[in-house]
Amino acid sequence: MSYSPSTQPNVTKPDWLSRIENMKVNRKDMNKLIMNYLVCEGFKEAAEKFEQEAGISSPLKLNTWGNRIKVIEAVQSGKMQEAITLINQLYPGLLDDDRDLYFHLQQLHLIELIKEDNIEEALVFAQAKLSEVGEGNPAILTELERTLALLAFEEPQKSPFADLLQTTHREKVSSELNAAILRFHNQPTITPKLYNLMKLIMWAQDELDRKKVKFPHMTDFGSATLEPPK
Secondary structure string (H, E, C) spanning 149-201: HHHHCCCHHHCCCHHHHCHHHHHHHHHHHHHHHHHHCCCCCCCCHHHHHHHHH
How many CB atoms within 10 Å of residue 148? 17
Using CA atoms, how far apart are residues 209 and 11, in angstroms rounded to an integer?
12
Three-state DSSP class for residue 26:
coil
Mean pLDDT of the chain: 84
Where helices occur in 55-137 by DSSP H, the ranges are 65-76, 80-90, 94-97, 99-115, 119-125, 131-134
Q: Are 151 and 114 in contact (CB under 8 A)?
A: yes
Among 166, 211, 179, 209, smallest CA distance to 100 is for: 179
What pLDDT was estimated at residue 196?
82
The predicted-structure confidence for 95-118, as pLDDT tens digits, reads as follows: 999 999 999 999 999 999 999 999
- Place 189 in a pLDDT band, splitting at 50, 70 and 90: very low
Q: Calculate the alpha carbon distances from 35 to 25, 27, 51, 62 in Å.
A: 16, 12, 8, 12
Model confidence, pTM: 0.63
The predicted-structure confidence for 125-156, as pLDDT tens digits, reads as follows: 998 888 777 677 888 889 999 999 999 998 99
The predicted-structure confidence for 5-63, as pLDDT tens digits, reads as follows: 445 567 787 887 787 788 888 888 888 888 888 877 767 778 888 888 888 877 666 66
How many CB atoms within 10 Å of residue 87? 25
